[in-house]
Chains A and B, each alone.
Chain A
């Protein structure tokens, strides 16, 4: 995708407090036309606050939003019409058919008549559900409903679509299907996408990621570039006493070992060469299992913030110490 000189959407020092707690601190982010940008972080990182601000459901305490280079109020109807929004909680009416739901979505944005009809049919086609348009959505699976949510958010032909944890609770096949349709829609509609996620596999799908932690932006880069920040392999060891094992690994082998969710994790350049050394160093059942894998975005997140991506609370305390060595 080529980016024009002016980003489609630019967040400039966006700040929001809830009483004393700072939910979002001076967020600067620009989203180019045609990009799929992911806000990555655990619950409480500021993703949902950013989403609600952009959806016009909250007002910022400071900062501004530029759309196509023009500063706009988040409640401006002109901005609202250029945005499509998918909330975590579904917006579909269960007593209505898919087609009726889309028509309703179109009318909420002022589209009627032949123009609305054309958009509704096109959306049904693009999400591959044109044959089932007259079925009531209450009978549909979670994956199909999610695709219909996507169609409803796009029916008024917005320039940008915001999605809050769009694939939460979907199984693997539905997740894949949602994303393949999203990409097809992006290409067919010239769409820009900004989504929040705490799934590493979903983050991989984005063109660019903004990593949030405790209301602050800690990194923005492509998933590949972020993954490259964690060099080498991730070695995970299961043992009965992970803390003492980690301490021993640090002392005896000089490895950056940390305990993550009850397992010892080590980042190394040549993982396969270390495995036999480890097995020899800790004989007689001290290690329950040893596994080796390539780093994921969850590991990147852990390295950037010292927190586990899927968790609500910071759980990887030793990581901070080992990082500062």
Chain B
């Protein structure tokens, strides 16, 4: 208790604070000025989205990883499989070209995984507690996080898409609106799924286990690494029911047109099913995530 007075930092009482004392009797309650309802929820969504983007740019290792990982993956795996890869009835489809849409989807998946790990960290640090104790709804919190993850995924994927000409993507077949829609919906769904899982496992170690038994197999069995055509009947059924199949398929159709998808046998009959399926996927898992994050610790 005996601290020399000189070491005590004194609060700012000069002028300003003295002036403010008179306000005590008539405080202007913030609640009367602050927006309510939707404006408030939107503010929560926006600030969480912006935070994730800002954090991404302030971690140089993440930026480098985000750029290098898909490129490395695409070239290395592509080089490895190039010799043995052949799809019946699709002459001239090399592995670099086949795997390009899958790598774009992988970018989205990893971005969602990062977002989810950050949820576990925020929960441990207390940041998330402070958000949940605020007036924002759980859905707003989940949406903010999921949109943040989508923004990073889009950014990362756009950079990777500079390599598209090397993968034989022609301007004539490129469908940008479809590409964006598929990527955003996939990112939202995967982040929602990640958050719901993260809330359940609680620790980063546990999450790594979930990642390797749920999320990565989902990607492997999406038609990203090998085509559905030629897979055994049981595996083919698992692949058909995998929501990520629709991401890969959607990206493939957006990049190469419907024929390319038909050639590798992943296309849904008539195509165009990707967007509605992904819409349901995203809505369901965002909802599940919002229900999962209870306010209690």
B-binding residues in A (CB < 8 A): 34, 52, 55-59, 75, 77-78, 80-83, 85, 87-93, 95-96, 100, 104-105, 107-112, 115, 119, 125-128, 152, 156-159, 172-173, 176-177, 180-181, 183-185, 187-190, 201
A-binding residues in B (CB < 8 A): 1, 3, 7-13, 16-17, 20-21, 23-25, 27-31, 33-36, 39-40, 43-44, 46-47, 51, 54-55, 58-59, 124-127, 129-137, 295-297
Quick one: given A95-B55, A107-B47, are A190 and B127 in contact (CB under 8 Å)? no
Contact: A57 with B20, CB < 8 Å?
A: no
How far, in Å, is A11 (CB) from chain B's closest CB? 17
Contact: A77 with B135, CB < 8 Å?
A: yes
21 sampled A-B residue pairs with Cβ under 8 A: A56-B132, A58-B295, A80-B133, A87-B130, A89-B125, A90-B126, A91-B125, A92-B127, A93-B51, A107-B43, A109-B30, A127-B11, A152-B130, A177-B9, A180-B9, A181-B11, A184-B17, A188-B17, A189-B20, A190-B23, A190-B25
**CA A90 to CA B129, docked complex, whole Å:** 10
List the A side residues contacting B129 at CB < 8 Å.
55, 57, 87, 89, 91
Of A55, A78, A82, the contact of B133 (CB 8 Å cutoff)? A55
Which of A34, A87, A115, A158: most chain B CB closer than 10 A?
Answer: A87
In the A-B complex, the 6 residue pairs with the smallest Cβ-Cβ separation, listed nearest first, are: A89-B126, A157-B30, A91-B130, A184-B11, A107-B47, A110-B40
Contact: B297 with A52, CB < 8 Å?
A: yes
Contact: B135 with A110, CB < 8 Å?
A: yes
Of B16, B24, B46, the contact of A107 (CB 8 Å cutoff)? B46
Quick one: given A91-B127, A104-B51, A128-B9, are A110 and B24 in contact (CB under 8 Å)? no
How far, in Å, is B161 (CB) from chain A's closest CB? 27
**CA A107 to CA B50, docked complex, whole Å:** 11
List the B side residues contacting A58 at CB < 8 Å.
295-296
**CA A176 to CA B9, docked complex, whole Å:** 8
Contact: B17 with A126, CB < 8 Å?
A: yes
Quick one: given A89-B125, A157-B30, are A57 and B132 in contact (CB under 8 Å)? yes
How far, in Å, is A97 (CB) from chain B's closest CB? 10
Which A residue sits closest to B1, measured CB to CB? A201
**CA A127 to CA B46, docked complex, whole Å:** 27
Which B residue sits closest to A130, measured CB to CB? B12
**CA A189 to CA B28, docked complex, whole Å:** 10
How far, in Å, is B136 (CB) from chain A's closest CB? 6
List the B side residues contacting A181 at CB < 8 Å.
11
Which of B11, B46, B55, B131: most chain A CB closer than 10 A?
Answer: B11
Which A residue sits closest to B129, measured CB to CB? A87
**CA A183 to CA B58, docked complex, whole Å:** 36
How far, in Å, is B139 (CB) from chain A's closest CB? 13
Of A59, A88, A112, A183, the contact of B126 (CB 8 Å cutoff)? A88
**CA A158 to CA B39, docked complex, whole Å:** 19
Which B residue sits closest to A96, measured CB to CB? B54
Which A residue sits closest to B58, measured CB to CB? A95
Which B residue sits closest to A154, measured CB to CB? B30
Contact: B30 with A125, CB < 8 Å?
A: no
List the A side residues contacting B124 at CB < 8 Å.
89
**CA A181 to CA B11, docked complex, whole Å:** 5
Contact: A95 with B54, CB < 8 Å?
A: yes
Contact: B8 with A173, CB < 8 Å?
A: yes
How far, in Å, is A73 (CB) from chain B's closest CB? 12
Which A residue sits closest to B11, measured CB to CB? A184
List the B side residues contacting A112 at CB < 8 Å.
43
**CA A158 to CA B27, docked complex, whole Å:** 10
How far, in Å, is A144 (CB) from chain B's closest CB? 10
Contact: B29 with A110, CB < 8 Å?
A: no
Contact: B296 with A52, CB < 8 Å?
A: yes
How far, in Å, is B126 (CB) from chain A's closest CB? 3
| Interface contacts beyond A115-B33, A187-B17: sample of 12 additional A-B pairs, CB < 8 Å, sorted by A | A57-B133, A80-B134, A80-B135, A82-B29, A87-B130, A90-B126, A96-B51, A108-B136, A110-B36, A152-B130, A158-B30, A188-B23
How far, in Å, is B158 (CB) from chain A's closest CB? 23
List the A side residues contacting B46 at CB < 8 Å.
107
**CA A93 to CA B58, docked complex, whole Å:** 12
List the B side residues contacting A115 at CB < 8 Å.
33
